[in-house]
Amino acid sequence: MIRRHALIALTTMALLACGGGDSDSSFAIAPDLTLTVRIDGADAPGLAATVGPSGASIVLNSGQRLEIGSSTPVVFSAGSSSATSSIRLVTPLIWDAVVSSPVNTSFTLTATSAVDSTKTVALAITVLARP
């Protein structure tokens, strides 16, 4: 049953993340948990956040502001890398930071439901250094 729900959630995430060229930048992890991606204050275009079997991947340039919003309370945790995150705001509903790196790098931001810890998604974030 859990695998079936996971498959449904991944399918939903993939369909919502592709966006089809519109400005929808949200994707569902589970029926009651949806994340929204904003880069530099604007909804990320459909392919800025792509979803695969292990979560979503986001690519942004060094110095850009990344805001991840959640429809329900989550616990955010960021892995380490050479990127620095100048945190603007972290709440159970928002992770907002300006991400910088002198070299191309990546890190993982994990959002885990505060209500059901089995609902989690890992966002693979790639930060491209500016030339």
pLDDT in tens, 28-43: 555 566 778 888 887 7
pLDDT classification of 14: cutoffs 50, 70, 90: very low
Share of the chain above pLDDT 90, in %: 31
Query: Nearest Cα to 79, choosing from 36, 122, 115?
Result: 122
The bridge status of strand 84-90 relative to strand 42-43 is unpaired
What integer is the mean pLDDT of 37-54? 64
Task: Look at residue 58 in the predicted model and tell me its pLDDT.
Answer: 86
pTM of the model: 0.70
Report d(CA 65, CA 87) in Å as an integer.
Answer: 9
Measure the CA–CA gap between 68 and 110, rounded to whole angstroms.
11
How many other C-beta atoms are found inside a 10 Å radius of the C-beta of residue 94? 16
What pLDDT is recorded for position 21? Answer: 33
Mean pLDDT of 60-67: 93
* Of 91, 123, 128, 92, residue with least CA distance to 27: 123
pLDDT at 129 over 90: yes
d(CA 124, CA 59): 8
Domains and CATH numbers, the chain: 2-128 (2.60.40)
